[in-house]
A and B are shown apart, each in its own frame.
Chain A
Amino acid sequence: MDVRSRNHVTVTGRTGAPAVMLAHGFGCDQNMWRLVVPELERDFTVVLFDHVGAGNSELTAWSRDRYASLDGYVDDVLELCRELDLGPITFVGHSVSAMMGVLAAARRPEAFAGLVLLAPSPCFVDDPATGYRGGFSAEDIDELLESLDANYLGWSGAMAPVIMGNPDRPELGEELTNSFCRTDPEIARVFARVTFLSDNRADLAAVTVPTLVAQCSHDAIAPPEVGAFVHAQIPGSRLVTLNATGHCPQLAAPEETAAAIAAFAGASG
């Protein structure tokens, strides 16, 4: 299968410039990055893609077996790197995709110039045995699955989100209506489990490429101590706390987020 169409790859920005790959997290698709892309495409080759099962990826490529753990997604990222052949890239992983970056860089460090872990969490569930606090209990995750189910009727039926004007990029309108944040409920359930029940704390120490941990100042999903944990576990990593609040700094504070990515990728790329 053609991995570019499988993952609905978009390549934009300056040809020949250092490459930055932006990986969206659980819930939505590559449109999450649309506010930071204009900031980055002046100085970088920008690669956007949808995880299989999300957005405009090829849903036929999704299988419960392949995507029952982060490994299937990591395989995809490495296949994309090979296929695009842009040299060592700076991988920007938001939320769950941050851990995909960690695993991919541990497996093939030569493919990566650096990692930006945006609002990362290596483990969402608390682990009283080690005193680790991820912020959630297993019951909380079950509750999220219920929330997904509660909106299942709506998502699968009448609710096609109406897009307000996008005066800068009107072509986004139609695309967003059809895809943005709409996921097959079956796929969403499996991805939610992978996202919120994976434990990658032990994998952090294996990262050898330059790494920037960028966390938000008030993030209900990845609290500050989790960012500090990631920073402490990855040798030589840098930690920045963005002024952005919430879990999606690329939407809440796109300029600040893009600046942090650009400064890091410019230095390491």
Chain B
Amino acid sequence: MCGTDDGAADDGGRGRGRDHGRGRDHGRGRSEDHQENQEARFSELLEDSAEDLYEHAPCGYLSTLLDGRIAKINTTLLDWLGYERDALVGRKRFSDLLTVGGRLYHETHFAPLLRMQGEINGIALELKTADGTRLPVMVTSTVKTGGDGQALLIRTTIFDARDRRAYENELLRARQEADRERDRLKVLNTTLQKTLLPPTLANVPGLDVAAHYHIASADEVGGDFYDLFPLAAGTWGMFLGDVCGKGAAAAAVTSLARYTLRAAAVYSPAPDAVLANLNTVLNHEYNGTDPRFCTVIFGLLTPDPDQGGFHITLASGGHPPAMVMRHDGTADSLPTPGGQLIGILPNANIATTTVHLAPGDTLLLHTDGLTEAHTAAGPDGRYSDEALLDLGRALAPTTATDAITAIRDLLDTLGNGVDDDTAVLAVHVPRTTSEEQQ
């Protein structure tokens, strides 16, 4: 821009102005005349413009030698800085005009980049004026090269950035504040999530149990939950569910559902009764303007003294079916058709099914975060129930720990495709040594 340092400013503008002034032709139309008039007026305005534009441009112009020494500076910049021309030209370097911190930035970033690239754009710096005040500026520099490509000098334009810097500082502060808040929120969410899950699963004699909770995003608390706990007379309760929605409101429902299920199972352990009680509690609690509901599968585990293993009764309220992976290498899902969402109707239909978990068998409960995960490989771009069943068939026979490990690997593979939280819970009856020998 500031191209007059090497005497390049010609008087072309002036010359053209005079030519147009003389070249009137009265024989032509009105609009052409008008255009000529206008051009002539513009030319007069532009009279002697190059030097004046350089000196009094609305931005600072500075030309420096390659070592930074100031060779030429315009009046605008001198006025901003409060220096006489003689105090700077040939005496000071560009970096001398900067604050000390700006000088460090200049030497470590600005100057190397300019050398490498031949130009550098829109860098925020602060100039030190003669009276010691600071002037925030935006600086753009280009290297002027000679015909042989040799660098000759550096041309710099400087814009007053006081208003802009104040605005940017606000942005920066807001961004830093937002960064801090997001970090705080993540910690809070992760902590809250943990409180909604059992710290450890109960140790059930004769049963290998494992679970995993996958947090899709630390920005929001998810609504999946599970538990495994002792009931009376050597029986055990287990559940896994998914509250519709996310965030603090969903977390409150999750908490309520968890404790209601635990208490209801003590009062009346039949799985359909447990879910019916949960339905009543949620339905009463959220019958107003903010309906909250969940899908949940509840299991009652009773040791089977005759056949070995466990007898399991499962009740489901609108939840994806459990899957059993057997010791003989087969796998099946355990459908519970007709089960309805819990909490939405005063009397939800609860569907039940039973399964015998023989030694070597594994039962897997999951939430739909897994089967609804986005993947290009699946039908409709989702992972799907069928794919999970195929995985179960490939895994069987397996153990609780191995099944959960396989699901974790699967979640890793699906990566960002898992956009909802996912909970999985597996129980497995280990075979005794004598059974294995058979």
Report the minimum CB–CB distance from A34 to chain B (whole Å): 8
| B124 and A251 contact, CB distance less than 8 A | no
| A150 and B168 contact, CB distance less than 8 A | yes
| A247 and B115 contact, CB distance less than 8 A | no
Query: Do A142 and B111 form a contact, CB below 8 Å, given A154-B123, A220-B95?
Result: no
Set of chain A residues within 8 Å of B202, measured between Cβ atoms: none
Please tell me the size bucket of the interface on B.
35 or more
B230 within 8 A of A: no
Report the minimum CB–CB distance from B102 to chain A (whole Å): 5
A-B interface contact total, Cβ < 8 Å:
116
Query: Do A27 and B108 form a contact, CB below 8 Å, given A150-B124, A176-B116?
Result: yes
A239 within 8 A of B: no
**What's the Cα separation between A113 and B123 when bound, in Å?**
41
Report the minimum CB–CB distance from A197 to chain B (whole Å): 12
| B168 and A251 contact, CB distance less than 8 A | no
B118 within 8 A of A: yes
Query: Do A245 and B119 form a contact, CB below 8 Å, given A28-B109, A144-B101, A221-B107?
Result: no
Set of chain A residues within 8 Å of B116, measured between Cβ atoms: 31, 34, 163, 176, 180, 251
| B109 and A176 contact, CB distance less than 8 A | no
Set of chain B residues within 8 Å of A161, measured between Cβ atoms: 113, 117, 120-121
Interface string of A162-174 (1 = CB under 8 A from B): 1110010000000
Per the 8 Å Cβ criterion, residues 47-102 of B in contact with A are 66-68, 93, 95, 99-102
Set of chain A residues within 8 Å of B126, measured between Cβ atoms: 147
Set of chain A residues within 8 Å of B105, measured between Cβ atoms: 144, 147-148, 151
Question: A145: which of B101, B111, B175 is its contact (CB, 8 Å)?
Answer: B101
| B66 and A252 contact, CB distance less than 8 A | yes
A269 within 8 A of B: no
**What's the Cα separation between A31 and B66 when bound, in Å?**
20
Instruction: Name the residue on B nearest A222 (C-beta).
Output: B107
A25 within 8 A of B: yes
B104 within 8 A of A: yes
Q: List 5 A-B contacts (CB under 8 A).
A: A26-B108, A141-B101, A164-B117, A181-B113, A220-B95
Which B residues have a C-beta under 8 Å from some C-beta of A?
Answer: 66-68, 93, 95, 99-109, 111-113, 115-126, 149, 165, 168, 171-172, 175
Which A residues have a C-beta under 8 Å from some C-beta of B?
Answer: 25-28, 31-32, 34, 95, 136-137, 140-154, 159, 161-164, 167, 176, 180-181, 196, 218-221, 245-248, 251-252
